[in-house]
Homo-oligomer: A and B are copies of this chain.
Amino acid sequence: MEILFTFKIKEHDKLALIDEFPSASFHFNGSIEDEEVEKVDVIVTYGGNIDTTVLNRAKSLKWLMIASAGVEKMPLLEIAKRNILITNVRGIHKTPMAESVLAHMLALKRSIPEIYAIQETKKWANKFNSTELKGSTALILGPGAIGSEIGRLLQAFGVKTIGCNRTGRSVDSMDEIITFNDLLNKLPVADFVISVLPSTPETKGLLTTEHLEAMKDTAVFMNFGRGDVINEGVLLRALKENVIGHAVLDVFETEPLPESHEFWSLRNCTVSPHVSSKSGKYIERSLVVFKKNMKIWIENDKNFINVINPKSGY
């Protein structure tokens, strides 16, 4: 069993893998350009380097381990055609992402931008309109592992949580669950509308002008899923016309967000450069998922965790 890593991991993590899986042959510090690609069974990658050309070269490839959550840019149909198992690391982002979402929510409620701004001027001023998170209502679009962790923390702060998914199936830490069909009716009660939706044909453009207009004019829209859940022109107009109160955006239609984009300069828009899932624990947790699936592979079991259905994209 030959395994190629196309991103770097620490020496002690390499030794631990070799020790735990003596029957496997690891190629660490590899590149997708390496000749090894043609003979390896497994490629461990962040995903951005996989295209049809690579799939054509990788004649022995049986498993693509993607150390990332979003796979929408990958050639999923080509992967399906070749019967290659594809797994990701969904779930491992839940702690840093939920902490980032809470950090931004609390920052807005507790005047953190104003506090940082007055420190620049060195002038004591404290006529801020600080308010409380407690007693708010949050609507969470697409609550899986991440959304449920956000809900758990919000409930500790006394925030009412409404989860919204396709089927209305129950999710932990949600006071209420609705389906996409009920969304327009429920938006008027939300103080925060938080998307953690992946990019799929169903979620692309899910939110429209009509949705923004249904929100409170004080509502905060937070996008921590994928940029294409809403047309950015539509969102920009709503922010400029104060249709909603504020947006906190960690994801964009085009990343990096171009310097010329108006989002950067709107006073009611926070631009976060796709960092909400970052944490020093990322690779450590990715390897935990990888090792679990390695054991399943070696035991010839088929019950892999974090399998992606190449047809649905999640």
Name A residues whose Cβ lies closer than 8 Å to a Cβ of B: 95-96, 99-100, 102-104, 106-107, 109-113, 115-116, 118-119, 122-126, 128-134, 152-153, 156-158, 255-257, 259, 264-265, 270-276, 278-281
Partner of A133, one of B99, B104, B129: B99
Partner of A103, one of B100, B106, B134: B106
Give the chain B neighbours of A280 by CB distance below 8 A.
129-132
The verdict on A130 contacting B275 (CB below 8 Å), with A100-B110, A122-B259, A259-B122 known, is yes
CB nearest neighbor in B for A125: B273
Contact B96 A103 (CB under 8 A): no
A-B contact pairs, 16 of them (CB 8 A): A95-B132, A99-B106, A99-B109, A99-B132, A100-B106, A103-B112, A107-B112, A110-B276, A111-B275, A123-B259, A124-B259, A125-B273, A126-B274, A126-B278, A128-B278, A129-B280
CB nearest neighbor in B for A122: B264
Contact A279 B99 (CB under 8 A): no
CB nearest neighbor in B for A129: B280
Give the chain B neighbours of A109 by CB distance below 8 A.
99, 103
Contact B265 A128 (CB under 8 A): no
**CA distance in complex: A157, B157 (Å):** 11
11 more A-B contacts (CB under 8 A) besides A96-B132, A156-B156? A95-B134, A96-B110, A99-B106, A104-B112, A111-B278, A115-B272, A116-B270, A122-B264, A124-B273, A126-B273, A126-B278
